Each structure stands twice: as structure tokens, then as C-alpha cells.
């Protein structure tokens, strides 16, 4: 794979970021805001006093793919990058090696020492790979590669590291060479600790990104969009008001619709700033179209160590740095567990020689490497809130197999349940758009509560679910409440009854109500059902009921049944009359005269309307009225209408439901 620029090129092109310029001390006008020389995550005393902010860097053209994507930390990972000498305890390396690959950046002279350290700690040595290169610090989160997908190809984006540490600054290019990945140079001064993304185009940094790039917001947003596919890009205040100004010190994406934000006591001087950021996200829509679910993790403030947002997510395991107060530690672990059902939450104590700090913990000292062959389920148009009643709900999703293998067509599914019932599946089929499939949720009703999630698998045996929590916390929506149901009674005499209804009911409801009294239910053209007296089950080819039609029902003995259903609006149920005899219903809840019933029909001369027991009438075009004993249509009864028109006619009964 092509590497867009080499080490020699990077040495050749040296961008001096404030070279030989003194650090603007006015930025630290307040004594309590001056950097602590001991906080090496920022700068050492020597680095501070030198004033040398030069950086080796070379810009390239941005990726040219149609779909550039910056995966999130909570997506599938193939490895975690660390640096040796370590900034994390060896016990954490052991835990990581038991769950994924570990990429250890180490100089060749120290590799033997690293190997011995890991062996003595009981690490899974087969999962540890060494990458020989020099580094200046263990904050690999800040200077390490930013892995992206350029269409289906994994690649690296390198920015101008905002520290005068040239060995660290070279790591993305060197990793690109050793992994065989294209490296794109994005000319922004940036740092990994001040960047979080949701994997679907949304990114977050605090205002440090503007402060370090000449406050040219248009340029910042353009670069983030072109190189990383980030848009929208949320640039927030720095609620900490501290020297580091890194987003991972106060917030963290847990899922595309979930964000964790620290919470300070009301007495803390930064309380209002933290609340401002939390309120911003609580009122900002996530990529799925509704406001973020904001989770708060309490921190005591002051000098008590509580770096809880500085955690690492690796394939449904979260490693949370523990602070110095056990009560707050336990609360933090519970917040993570509540927010991430089905995840394993592990508290990690810092090493004695490299302890955690509030502005520097295990997230700062590690960096995940996305699974280059992952299957990505991108169901963007999430169905949520209250939905109108409809026959089916379409669930559309893209399935992107970065492995290049084919999708398993029988494993592209929508799992759904209605009113907390049993889970059902709907197969998804191609829509014709690239990588896009659709499945349908059916069987719901007015007022239904519906849960669902999307699942996919490919031939490389990669699988993925959206949401990743699956049945533990699926997507959710409700169906609007419908009109109130009505209860109606119908009487059937022994033998045949001509029947219709103005209620939306199923034939199963009617046949169940008829029970052993029923013998046969017949339609004019849609088949019939009969009761099997041997087993008590109805059988036949009747397709169902519709309120526009009449049916003939035969019972063994007189009976009265009760049915519940939603009354229909007759203006939404046109009745079609074909030449000859038609069995028509009366989908209203009150009697109508023939003149009222057929006021918008324009009957033909000689048309007839016949009832079962109330006679019949014939239309006289000369007199423009109906002549005969039948003058009124009644709800619940069925009628036969003979049309003399040569072509089909359509009419509606007048008057809505009273």
C-alpha cells in the first residue's frame, strides 16, 4: 500500500510552529493557572523554557474516497497501542493481551526489557507485537496514529502534534510504514486527547483546537471534514479551565447516542462550566436524530484524583482509571455499567511510579487500533418516538464489510418485539443503493411499544449489531394511540344471514366469536370458510373482511355475538360497483335512506338494491328516485346491488361517523 510521504520527506519539510518563539506567558496571567512543571503531560520545564515549538510535518492531499470514516473507540478493535517504557501498570497490559492484540512501540535497545516485563506479568505473549521506533513520552493517545477508512481501505491521518517532541511526532508515519498503510497529512495542530468521534461523522473537541490554529474556524472545520469525514464538528468550551484542555479529561462518547460528562460539586469554581457543556449535549441531536443521553460521573474536585472519563473501551470491555476515593470509584463504575449494559467494567489502579492524575490517566497512555476487517452496520435513519399507524415500518441500513468478503444474505436481519413479547426477525433485502438493505416490522397495532435492533454478518465471520447492546438496550419507538374501540352485538338467525360491519376487525375475531354456532362464512368473490366440526377449527380460502363488502354467514342455531373493533371512517372506504350483482356493506353506524346512501352515485335507470328480509327497490331515472319496499339501509346488514352501468362505478356513503 502506498505511503504518501516518507521519513525522508518528513525530515525534508520542516514546519516551524512558532520556532524560536517564546511561549506567551500572558496566557497564564493568573498564578493558579500557570503550568505545573511536574505535569509532564503538558511540557517539561526544559521544553517550556526553550520556547522551541518546531515540529516535523508534511501536509498531503486529503483522502479521495466516497466514504471517509473515522471509527469510534467503541467500535471493534484489533489492538491497543502502548509505549514502553510504560505509563500504565503491567497488570493492565496483561488484561489487554487477554482480550486483544497489543502493539508495543519500543526502541530496539529496550525490546528485550519489555519482553521480560510482560512475561513476568503473565501476559499473553502471542498477542504482543513490537514496533521498533524511538519515542519521547508514553502519551501515545496524543501523538499516535488516527486510523480511518478511506472507502474500504484502512489508512492513517497525521496532524501536526502540538508538542516539541520530534520522536513522538514521527510515530504516525513510522506506524504507517510498518503496517503498510497510506498516511495522510492534515495540516492542523491537534492532539488525540482533544478528539472524540462517534464513527458516523460527528466529532467533538474543546476550544483548544481553535486556540492552536489561529482561531481559523473555517479552516479547522474544512480540514476535519476533508481528512476525517467529521461533520458536524462540535467545538465546546474547556470546562476544566486547566492547562491541558483535552476533551478526554472531562467527557467521553460511549455510543453514538451516549456521552459521559464529569460532574463537580456545586461549590467548585468550574461547576457552571461543566453544567454548560452537559446542557449543550442534552439539547443537541446525536447522529440518530434525537438528543444525546447524557450520563454524569461524579468527581470530588480539588486535589482528589478522580480521572473517570479518561477510560479505554476495547471490544465491550471498559477499563476505568480508579482515583483516590473508593466511594467515588464505586459510583463511577456503576455509572459505566448503567450506561453500557452487557459490557464488562474493570477498575484499574495506576502504577506506583506512574500514577493516574486528573488530567492524565490510562486513556492518555493508550490508543486503540480499529479492526481493519470489521463489519460496520450503519442504520442511520433510526425509528424513534411516536410513529403513525401504518401496515409496516421500514428499517433501512447499510452493511459495509471492510474485509472485502461478501455479506451473508440470510444473516442481514431486523430483530423486533412488540409490547415486550417474543423477539421476531425480518429478513433484509437489497434496495438497489450501494450496500443498503431494508427489512420491515409488521404486526404492530395502535398504541404498540416496539423494540428493535439490526444485525449483520459477512463471510469472514465478522458480525455487528446496532445498537451494539442488542436485546439489552435496543432502539425503541411507539405507535400512536388509535381511536377508541367500540363494542357491537350482532344477532344471527338459524340458517343464512346477510351481514356487514363498520368495525375494523379480522375474520379470526368473527369466527372465534361465532364458535361452534357457525357453519360457513361466504363472500361474493373472495372465497369462503367452513367450520371443521371434528376439531373445531375454521378452514377455507376466505382472504379476510373489508367493510365495503357484505358477507353471508350460516349458523347452526340462532346466536348473538359481541365484537370489539375500531370504527372506520366511511369517507376513506370507497365502494366499487361492477356491472351486475354486487354484495355491498354499510360501513356507517346509523341508518341511511337510499337517497342519502347513494347521493354521489348517480344510479342508472333500473339499478336494484335488495335486502334479505326488507324487500327491494329499483331506481327510476324518469322519476329520479327509488321505488319499492326497501327505503333504508341499516348498519350490520348486508345488501345486494345490481348495477346496469357498463363500466365500474365508485361511490362513498355520505356523512362521517356521528
Q: Which residues are known catalytic residues?
A: 364
DSSP assignment letter at 332: H
Under DSSP, the state recorded for 294 is E
Taking only Cα atoms into account, the Rg of the chain, rounded to an integer number of angstroms, comes to 35
Q: Cα 489–492–496 angle (5° rounding)?
A: 145
Q: Write down how long the chain is.
A: 658
Dist. CA 553–CA 135, nearest whole Å? 87
Decide the pairing of beta strands 580-584 and 625-628: unpaired
State how far the Cα of 466 lies from the Cα of 444, in Å rounded to an integer. 21
Residues 6+ apart with CB under 8 A from 462: 76, 371, 373, 374, 375, 401, 403, 405
- Determine the number of helices (DSSP H) and then strands (DSSP E) in the chain: 12, 46
CA distances from 552 to 39, 524, 528, 596 (A): 88, 9, 9, 25
Dihedral, 216, 217, 220, 223 alpha carbons, nearest 10: -100
Distance CA 408, CA 402 (A): 14
CA-wise closest residue to 637 among 528, 547, 540:
547
Strand-pairing partners, residue 80, are 102, 368
Query: CB neighbours (10 Å) of residue 480?
Result: 12
If we measure between CA atoms, which residue out of 112, 117, 116, 108 comes closest to residue 86?
117
Place of cell 518546531: 54
What does DSSP say about strands 495-499 and 375-378: parallel, antiparallel, or unpaired?
Answer: unpaired
Question: Do 308 and 301 meet the contact criterion of CB atoms below 8 Å apart?
Answer: no
The sign one gets for the Cα dihedral 263, 265, 271, 272 is: positive
Phi, psi of 146 (to 5 degrees): -100, 110
- What does the alpha-carbon distance between residue 564 and residue 486 come to, in Å, rounded to a whole number? 5
Rounded-to-integer distance, Cα 524 and Cα 514, Å:
20
455 within 8 A of 463, measured Cβ to Cβ? yes
Locus of grid cell 444525546: 292
Helix (H) or strand (E) holding 491: strand 486-492
Confirm if 247 and 196 have CB atoms less than 8 A apart: yes
Contact partners, residue 608, CB within 8 Å, separation at least 6: 616, 617, 618, 619, 640, 641, 642
Measured CA to CA, the distance from residue 396 to residue 414 in angstroms comes to 9
Amino acid at each position: 500500500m502506498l505511503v504518501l510521504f516518507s521519513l525522508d520527506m518528513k525530515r525534508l519539510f520542516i514546519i516551524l510552529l512558532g520556532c524560536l518563539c517564546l511561549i506567551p506567558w500572558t496566557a497564564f496571567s493568573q498564578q493558579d493557572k500557570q503550568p505545573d512543571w511536574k505535569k509532564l503531560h503538558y511540557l517539561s520545564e526544559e521544553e517550556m523554557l526553550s520556547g522551541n515549538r518546531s515540529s516535523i510535518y508534511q501536509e498531503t492531499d486529503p483522502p479521495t474516497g466516497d466514504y471517509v470514516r473515522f471509527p469510534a473507540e467503541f467500535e471493534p478493535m484489533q489492538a491497543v497501542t502502548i509505549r514502553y517504557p510504560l505509563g500504565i501498570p503491567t497488570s493492565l497490559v496483561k488484561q489487554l493481551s487477554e482480550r486483544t492484540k497489543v502493539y508495543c512501540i519500543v526502541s530496539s535497545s529496550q525490546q528485550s526489557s519489555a519482553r521480560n516485563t510482560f512475561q513476568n506479568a503473565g501476559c499473553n505473549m502471542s498477542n504482543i507485537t513490537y514496533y521498533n521506533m524511538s519515542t519521547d513520552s508514553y502519551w501515545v493517545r496524543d501523538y499516535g496514529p488516527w486510523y480511518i477508512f478511506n472507502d474500504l481501505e484502512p489508512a492513517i491521518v497525521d496532524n501536526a502534534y502540538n508538542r516539541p517532541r520530534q520522536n513522538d511526532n514521527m510515530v504516525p508515519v513510522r506506524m504507517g510504514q510498518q503496517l503498510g498503510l497510506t498516511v495522510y497529512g492534515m495540516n492542523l495542530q491537534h492532539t488525540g486527547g482533544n478528539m472524540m468521534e462517534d464513527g458516523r461523522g460527528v466529532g467533538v473537541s474543546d476550544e483548544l483546537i481553535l486556540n492552536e490554529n489561529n482561531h481559523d474556524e473555517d479552516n479547522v472545520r474544512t480540514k476535519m471534514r476533508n481528512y476525517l469525514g467529521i461533520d458536524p464538528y462540535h467545538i465546546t468550551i474547556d470546562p476544566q479551565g486547566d492547562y491541558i484542555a483535552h476533551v478526554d479529561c472531562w467527557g467521553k462518547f460511549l455510543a453514538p447516542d451516549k456521552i459521559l460528562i464529569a460532574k463537580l460539586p456545586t461549590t467548585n469554581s468550574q461547576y457552571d462550566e461543566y453544567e454548560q457543556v452537559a446542557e449543550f449535549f442534552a439539547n443537541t441531536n446525536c447522529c440518530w436524530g434525537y438528543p444525546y443521553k447524557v450520563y454524569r460521573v461524579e468527581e470530588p474536585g480539588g486535589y482528589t484524583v478522580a480521572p473517570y472519563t479518561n477510560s479505554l473501551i476495547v471490544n465491550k470491555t471498559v477499563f476505568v482509571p480508579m482515583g483516590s476515593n473508593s466511594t467515588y470509584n464505586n459510583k463511577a463504575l456503576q455509572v459505566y455499567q448503567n450506561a453500557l449494559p452487557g459490557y464488562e467494567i474493570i477498575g484499574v489502579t495506576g502504577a506506583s511510579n506512574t500514577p493516574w492524575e486528573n488530567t492524565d490517566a490510562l486513556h492518555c497512555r493508550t490508543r486503540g487500533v480499529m479492526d481493519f476487517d470489521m463489519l460496520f452496520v450503519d442504520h442511520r435513519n433510526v425509528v424513534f418516538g411516536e410513529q403513525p399507524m401504518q401496515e409496516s415500518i421500514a428499517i433501512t441500513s447499510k452493511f459495509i464489510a471492510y474485509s472485502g468478503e461478501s455479506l451473508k444474505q440470510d444473516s442481514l436481519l431486523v430483530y423486533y418485539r412488540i409490547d415486550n413479547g417474543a423477539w421476531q426477525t425480518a429478513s433484509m433485502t437489497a434496495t438497489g443503493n450501494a450496500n443498503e438493505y431494508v427489512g420491515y416490522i409488521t404486526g404492530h397495532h395502535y398504541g404498540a411499544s416496539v423494540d428493535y435492533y439490526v444485525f449483520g454478518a459477512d463471510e469472514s465471520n465478522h458480525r455487528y449489531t446496532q445498537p451494539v447492546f442488542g436485546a439489552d438496550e435496543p432502539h425503541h419507538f411507539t405507535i400512536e394511540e388509535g381511536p377508541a374501540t367500540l363494542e357491537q352485538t350482532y344477532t344471527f338467525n338459524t340458517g343464512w344471514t346477510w351481514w356487514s360491519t363498520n368495525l375494523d376487525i379480522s375474520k379470526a375475531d368473527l369466527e372465534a366469536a361465532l364458535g361452534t354456532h357457525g357453519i360457513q362464512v361466504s363472500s361474493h368473490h373472495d372465497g369462503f370458510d367452513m367450520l371443521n366440526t371434528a376439531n373445531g377449527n375454521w378452514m377455507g380460502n376466505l382472504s379476510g373482511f373489508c367493510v365495503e363488502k357484505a358477507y353471508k354467514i350460516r349458523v347452526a342455531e340462532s346466536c348473538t355475538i359481541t365484537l370489539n373493533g375500531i370504527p372506520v371512517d366511511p369517507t376513506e372506504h370507497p365502494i366499487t360497483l361492477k356491472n351486475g350483482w354486487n354484495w355491498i356493506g354499510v360501513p356507517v353506524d346509523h341508518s341511511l335512506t337510499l337517497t342519502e346512501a347513494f347521493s354521489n352515485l348517480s344510479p342508472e335507470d333500473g339499478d336494484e338494491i335488495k335486502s334479505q328480509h326488507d324487500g327491494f327497490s329499483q331506481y327510476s331515472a324518469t322519476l329520479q328516485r327509488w321505488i319499492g319496499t326497501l327505503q333504508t339501509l341499516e348498519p350490520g346488514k348486508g345488501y345486494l346491488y345490481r348495477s346496469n352501468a357498463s363500466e365500474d362505478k365508485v361511490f362513498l356513503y355520505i356523512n362521517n361517523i356521528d
